[in-house]
Amino acid sequence: MARPLYDIANEVRRDWKKVNYAAEPYLSAMGALGDIKENYYLDTGYSVVAYFLANAGSWRGDTAKRVKSELKAMLKNA
């Protein structure tokens, strides 16, 4: 069972001290979602996660690598 997206978003905020401005709206949306199959207004959870990953290239380190892998697995299994 996958972790809720809001838990993942909280972990990202704890680790990524200066969140990229382009990733911020998607990180905020993830903070309001429990599951990748939920919608955030007119966006799907799937697209929110995909766009977050597309804009999170500057987030690096062990936590970033682990969390990005977790999110990619969620996309693959959605």
Count of structural domains, the chain: 1
Is 72:39 a contact under the CB 8 Å cutoff?
no
* The pLDDT of residue 1: 74
Q: What is the pTM of this model?
A: 0.95
Name the residue range of residue 27's domain: 5-77
Give the whole-angstrom CA distance, residue 68 versus residue 40: 20
Give the whole-angstrom CA distance, residue 39 versus residue 20: 23
pLDDT in tens, 28-70: 999 999 999 999 999 999 999 999 999 999 999 999 999 999 9
Give the whole-angstrom CA distance, residue 22 versus residue 29: 13
